[in-house]
Structure 1
Amino acid sequence: MDIKLYDESSMNQDNGIEPQKQSNFRLDKTNIIILVVFVVLSIISAFLVFNLAKNIISTWTMTNLEGLPISSQGTKAAPNSNDETDPLTELAIIPIDIEMPEPWDGVSRVTVLLMGLDYRDWETGEIPRTDTMMVLTIDPVTKEAAMLSVPRDMWVNIPGFEYSRINTAYYLGELWKLPGGGPALATQTVEEFLGVPIDYYAQVDFAAFVRLIDEIKGVPVTPKMDVRLVPIGGGYKQTLEAGKTYTLDGTLALAYARARYTEGGDFDRAARQQEVVYAIRDRILKFSMWPTLIAKAPILYQEISSGINTNMRFEDALRLAALALELDRSKIKSFIIDASYVEFGSSPDDQDILRPIPDKIRLLRDEVFRTGGPLSPVAIQSQAGGEPVDIYDLVKIENARVSVQNGSWYTGLAGETATYLKSKGFNIIEETNAQASEVTSITLYNAKPYSIQALFKMYEDAGLGKPRLTNRFDPGTAVDVIIILGNDWANYVSSNPLPVE
Structure 2
Amino acid sequence: MPSRLRNILYSNSLLWGLGAAFLVAVLATAVLTFIVVRDAVVSWWQAPRVEAAIHTPTPLPNVPTLAPNQVLQTNQLAPTPQPWDGQSRINILLLGLDYRDWEAGQGPPRSDSMILLSIDPPSKTAGMLSIPRDLWVNLPNGFGYGKINTAYMLGEAYQLDGGGPGMAMQAVSNLLGMPVDYYARVDFDTFVRFVDEIGGVKINVPETITVDLLGDGTQKTLQPGVQTLSGEIALAYARARHTAGGDFDRARRQQQVLLAVRDRILDFNLLPDLMQRAPYIYYQAQEGIDTNLTFDYAIKLAWLMLDIPPENIHHGIIGPEQVDISTSYDGQSILVYDPQALLELRDDIFSTYGRIEPAAAGTPDAALLRAEAARIFVQNGTSVTGLGARTRDYLEQQGFDIAGVGNADQLYPYTTVIDYTGNPYTLKSLIASMGIADSQIFTSYDPAATYDVILIVGDDWAQQNP
TM-score, structure 1 as length reference: 0.66
Match among 98, 104, 114 for residue 133 of structure 1: 114
Determine helix, strand or coil for the equivalent of 1:238.
strand
The one-letter code matched in structure 2 to 1:125 is G
Rounded Cα–Cα distance in structure 2 between residues aligned with 1:308 and 1:434 = 46
Rounded Cα–Cα distance in structure 1 between residues aligned with 2:332 and 2:424 = 27
Asked if the contact 2:323/2:338 (under 8 Å) is kept, the reply is: yes
> Relative CO higher for 1 or 2, CA cutoff 8 Å, sep ≥ 6?
2
Deviation per CA, 1:5-29: give whole Å up to 9, x if none: xxxxxxxxxxxxxxxxxxxxxxxxx
Rounded Cα–Cα distance in structure 2 between residues aligned with 1:115 and 1:499 = 47
Match among 452, 462, 465 for residue 497 of structure 1: 462
Rounded Cα–Cα distance in structure 2 between residues aligned with 1:297 and 1:224 = 33
Asked if the contact 1:43/1:294 (under 8 Å) is kept, the reply is: no
Deviation per CA, 1:360-398: give whole Å up to 9, x if none: 11110122221x224689xxxxxxxxxxxxxxxxxxxxx
Q: Compute the displacement of 1:289 (Å).
A: 2.3
Identical amino acids, percent of aligned pairs: 38
Q: Which residue of 2 aligns with 1:335?
A: 316
Determine helix, strand or coil for the equivalent of 1:340.
coil
Counterparts of 1:261-280 in structure 2 under 5 Å? 261-280=242-261
Rounded Cα–Cα distance in structure 2 between residues aligned with 1:53 and 1:330 = 37
Match among 166, 189, 213 for residue 171 of structure 2: 189
Asked if the contact 2:134/2:149 (under 8 Å) is kept, the reply is: yes
Rounded Cα–Cα distance in structure 2 between residues aligned with 1:487 and 1:65 = 42
Determine helix, strand or coil for the equivalent of 1:306.
helix
**For the structure 1 residues 35 and 264, does the alpha-carbon distance in structure 2 shift closer, same or farther, using more than 3 Å as the test?**
farther
Structure 1 alignment gaps of length 5 or more: 1-30, 67-96, 378-398, 422-427, 470-483
Rounded Cα–Cα distance in structure 1 between residues aligned with 2:166 and 2:16 = 20
Match among 151, 156, 170 for residue 169 of structure 1: 151
Are 1:40 and 2:22 matched, yes or no?
yes
**For the structure 1 residues 352 and 443, does the alpha-carbon distance in structure 2 shift closer, same or farther, using more than 3 Å as the test?**
closer
Rounded Cα–Cα distance in structure 1 between residues aligned with 2:152 and 2:400 = 37
**For the structure 1 residues 254 and 489, does the alpha-carbon distance in structure 2 shift closer, same or farther, using more than 3 Å as the test?**
same
Determine helix, strand or coil for the equivalent of 2:87.
coil
Asked if the contact 2:126/2:314 (under 8 Å) is kept, the reply is: yes
Rounded Cα–Cα distance in structure 2 between residues aligned with 1:317 and 1:487 = 48
**For the structure 1 residues 194 and 319, does the alpha-carbon distance in structure 2 shift closer, same or farther, using more than 3 Å as the test?**
same
Q: Which residue of 1 aligns with 2:290?
A: 309
Residues paired across the two proteins, number: 386
Q: Which residue of 1 aligns with 2:97?
A: 117
Stretch of structure 1 that moved more, 259-268 or 54-63? 54-63
Deviation per CA, 1:270-301: give whole Å up to 9, x if none: 11111111001110111122465356444321
TM-score, structure 2 as length reference: 0.71
**For the structure 1 residues 437 and 220, does the alpha-carbon distance in structure 2 shift closer, same or farther, using more than 3 Å as the test?**
farther
The one-letter code matched in structure 2 to 1:434 is I
Q: Which residue of 2 aligns with 1:57?
A: 67
Q: Compute the displacement of 1:222 (Å).
A: 1.9
Counterparts of 1:347-426 in structure 2 under 5 Å? 347-370=328-351, 372-374=352-354, 407-408=377-378, 411=386, 413=388, 415-416=390-391
Rounded Cα–Cα distance in structure 1 between residues aligned with 2:91 and 2:434 = 29
Rounded Cα–Cα distance in structure 2 between residues aligned with 1:305 and 1:98 = 16
Deviation per CA, 1:170-204: give whole Å up to 9, x if none: 11111122122111111111111112111211122
Q: Which residue of 1 aligns with 2:80?
A: 100
The one-letter code matched in structure 2 to 1:188 is Q
Q: Compute the displacement of 1:216 (Å).
A: 1.4
Deviation per CA, 1:403-446: give whole Å up to 9, x if none: 99984476453535787x9xxxxxx9548983227876696779
Are 1:458 and 2:436 matched, yes or no?
yes
Match among 235, 245, 256 for residue 254 of structure 1: 235
Rounded Cα–Cα distance in structure 1 between residues aligned with 2:203 and 2:20 = 17
Determine helix, strand or coil for the equivalent of 2:290.
strand
